Chains A and B, each alone.
Chain A
Amino acid sequence: MVFSSILFLFRFMPIAFGIYYLTPRRYKNTVLFVVSLIFYSWGEVRYLPIMIASTVVDYVASLGIERRRAKGFRGRGYLALSLIFNLGSLGFFKYSGFLAENLNALLGLNIPVLALTLPLGISFYTFQTMSYTLDVYREDVKAEHNIINFGAYVTLFPQLIAGPIVRYSDVARELKERTHTWEGISQGIQIFIMGLGSKVLIANNIGSLWTRVSTMDFATVSTPLAWLGITAYALQIYFDFSGYSLMAIGLGKMLGFEFPQNFNYPYISKSITEFWRRWHMTLGSWFREYVYIPLGGNRKGAARQYFNILVVWATTGLWHGASWNFVLWGLYFALFLCIEKAFLLKKLEKSRVLSHVYLLVLVLISWVLFAITDFALLGQFFTRLFGGYGGSDWIYYLRNYGITFILGFLFSTPILRKVRDKLGENHILVTAFCAVVFLMSVAYLVDSTYNPFLYFRF
């Protein structure tokens, strides 16, 4: 089920929240667990066992680690169990086809390529459950003994499918005792509606431009239209993904949880380094915490540090999709992160305008690598971008999407927040604004039954 659907807004929400609020405190986690399972299995009943298995494995592994600890061991076997199970199921469902294809091509083998549908949200929940067992192993958190509480954490429907990647330590306290305040619910609603609007009113809207450009014969696309198209894609992916995160954070707040922030106006960054501190923050910190630092981070010399950066970004790329263009995309960022680390970052931070131009152009190019999976088409699109091809095909699209672009640009900056801070807490204004965004979002949702989430591929 996706949040931005009539089904979620006017069936799941009223029923699930109704039951949740009416249930006495001590059973609230049970309700959460049950409604989350329904939420998850709605679209994909066959993959429910995998998620439940992932929950049970990490629950058992962490208890096992704790028990071994009491006897003076480290509990490595249990950690291995969790890592093998999680990475194994992720590898099997997401990467086995990719691996088989490449082995076949490389060695002339004939391994059958399985056509598996990716279980919903597997990239997210395997990372979450792994982080829990790793934290228990590192003694950062205590193992959860109550399987309902743990199950509620893993399956918690707001963040289940597309993040943010909530680590167990983020919500450990709230799982046991949390309060539901009118203040929190009201803020949650606000954040949820902003997320819904981001997704439905901006991402879907501007996304239709990229859909059109990407299905054109690239040989006929003018240079201005190519840039317009990839800018549209940049806005689409940002508002799509950050919108989803906002909806998750908002829903979490309504349920009494504080989820970590996932996006912090990434497009206003002045360097790639800064961009990745503002974009998909929970994924970045996951890789830093569980890959980069264990590899030695920056503590083992410059050469090792560059190597670590490379490893982290190749895997980050691969996490986004089982295809070489995603690896290329990750390494592309690694390259610029290394360059910035070496000398460029200091200069960028001093510059006021050029650094923004630098960042935006590099990010737009990265989205080309991200959006076009076919290498031949990728090359063709780059020639259109930099070949200086004239044409008038962009005029109509600029006119048609002009206002949407402006809204996208504005909301990519903290301007709305600044206006709000200036006006102070004006409930009437906030409510009116939210009401318009919400009702318009519903109207767009009703109008289009077709509403895929970009991040469902991952």
Chain B
Amino acid sequence: MKNGMKFLLTSFFALCIWGLFLADMLVPTRAFSELENRPLAQVPAFSARALFQNAYTLKYEEYVNDQFVGRDSWITLKSLGESVLGKLENNGVIYGKQNQLFEEASTLDDRQLNKNVEYIQEFVQQYSDRNIALTIIPNSYAILEELLPEGLPVIDQKGIIQEQYLKFTEEPVDICDITPTMLEHKDEYIYYRTDHHWTTRGAYLAYREYMEILDRKPVSLGQLSAHEVGDFYGTYYSKAKKWDAVPDVITWYDVETNGVTIDGKAVEGLYDHSMWEQRDKYKAFLHGNNGLMVIESGEEGAQGRILVFKDSYGNSLVPFLVKNFKEVHVVDLRYFNDVASLLEENSYDAIWVLYNFSSLATDQNLYKLVH
């Protein structure tokens, strides 16, 4: 009788259960997960009240899950498992061709979208004497359709964007529709593979389109000195942890400034260079998302003042505007509340409302444009 073998499974299981239990107890708790970009649950405080409201046990379980030993590696193993099962997606991220990752978008709840469009309509009516333009940035799955897996159900984002634009035909606003330009350049590197943002090149295309509407001369990329940062694994990667994901390269350009403030506090330049070393490198652009950023251009020939309402897509575009405008005001409505005073105190040569489709369909802060 093969005596030792009989205990093989039992030993394995016992080792797993007690070994991981002990390891889990010994490994110090982590405060924050870089990968998930969120604080992790900590040991909850015990109270009889919390226990009877079922709150304590719930929190304790969250804590055990969040702090489980080797959490990140287990998540990678799961992603690998999904690949073995031939899955074309993981955790809501679709695996496209040529290593392109996409967000899942098979349905659209258009309630928030309609609300947001109404807020923009109200805004342009209220400030009809200003020179306002609107751009809805298409997301990668709308432009890079050929890279989507065959038969993937996906909403007709381009069509929906056009429907939104049509709502503005009677309104005092310039529609800066960048979709045709983006489609024309779809074979270029205009969207990151592993992140939901557009690349700096994608942003440049939108900038060029807008300058045409304003009748200003866009800077050409060749005139700028470019810098590259490699090894960028973006948000789609963090979600899906695709084992063979191909990292992205971020390009950024030197732009001269004479002073930059964020919510009144001075910061150094347009980029937070320390972020290039971090995991979420996109945060380097404009020092991440902030309430009100005021940029004094140091570029020769820059003139006038512009106000941009934007989500994070705008962060990589704004540096180009600093080439043309003496003063650039950048507002992120998620962190800024007083639009009325800002418009009262400042005259602007141009105002640009610049949102990507996903956030236009989900963001709950656009009411601040008019309230």
| Chain A residues, CB < 8 A from B222 | none
Check A427 against B9 for contact (C-beta < 8 Å).
Answer: yes
Q: Which residue of A lies closest to B79 (CB)?
A: A447
| Chain B residues, CB < 8 A from A299 | none
Task: Please tell me which stretch of B18-26, B304-312, B338-346 contacts chain A, meaning at least 4 of its Cβ atoms lie within 8 angstroms of it.
Answer: B18-26
Check B17 against A427 for contact (C-beta < 8 Å).
Answer: no
Check A396 against B151 for contact (C-beta < 8 Å).
Answer: yes
Check A434 against B12 for contact (C-beta < 8 Å).
Answer: yes
| Chain A residues, CB < 8 A from B81 | 201, 440, 443-444
**A362 contacts B by Cβ under 8 Å:** no
**A216 contacts B by Cβ under 8 Å:** yes
Check B85 against A186 for contact (C-beta < 8 Å).
Answer: no
Q: Which residue of B lies closest to A438 (CB)?
A: B16
**B10 contacts A by Cβ under 8 Å:** yes
Check A444 against B107 for contact (C-beta < 8 Å).
Answer: no
Q: Which of B58-103 contact A (CB under 8 A)?
A: 60-62, 64-65, 68, 71, 74-75, 77-79, 81, 85-89, 91
Instruction: Tell me the interface secondary structure of chain A in the complex.
Output: helix
Check A189 against B91 for contact (C-beta < 8 Å).
Answer: no
**B8 contacts A by Cβ under 8 Å:** yes
Q: How many residues of A contact B (CB 8 A)?
A: 55
**B230 contacts A by Cβ under 8 Å:** no
Check A216 against B78 for contact (C-beta < 8 Å).
Answer: no
**A353 contacts B by Cβ under 8 Å:** no
Check B65 against A6 for contact (C-beta < 8 Å).
Answer: yes
| Chain B residues, CB < 8 A from A113 | none
Minimum C-beta distance from B220 to chain A (A): 41
Minimum C-beta distance from A64 to chain B (A): 33
Q: Which residue of B lies closest to A404 (CB)?
A: B85
Task: Please tell me which stretch of B49-57, B326-334, B355-363 contacts chain A, meaning at least 4 of its Cβ atoms lie within 8 angstroms of it.
Answer: B49-57
Check B13 against A447 for contact (C-beta < 8 Å).
Answer: no
| Chain A residues, CB < 8 A from B9 | 186, 189-190, 427, 430-431, 434
Minimum C-beta distance from B177 to chain A (A): 28
Q: A182-B6, A431-B9 are in contact. Are A395 and B75 (CB under 8 A)?
A: no
Check B6 against A444 for contact (C-beta < 8 Å).
Answer: no
| Chain A residues, CB < 8 A from B6 | 182-183, 186, 427
Check A396 against B54 for contact (C-beta < 8 Å).
Answer: no
**A9 contacts B by Cβ under 8 Å:** yes
Q: List 9 A-B contacts (CB under 8 A).
A: A5-B61, A7-B64, A10-B17, A13-B17, A393-B153, A396-B150, A400-B86, A440-B77, A440-B78
Q: Which 3 A-B pairs have the closest CB atoms?
A: A395-B151, A446-B74, A427-B5
- Other than the given A45-B54, A399-B150, 17 more pairs (CB < 8 A) read A7-B64, A9-B17, A10-B24, A42-B57, A46-B54, A186-B6, A212-B106, A215-B107, A395-B150, A400-B87, A407-B85, A427-B5, A434-B12, A438-B13, A442-B74, A443-B78, A449-B62
List chain B positions with a Cβ less than 8 A from chain A. 2, 5-10, 12-13, 16-18, 20-21, 24, 51-52, 54, 57, 60-62, 64-65, 68, 71, 74-75, 77-79, 81, 85-89, 91, 106-107, 149-153
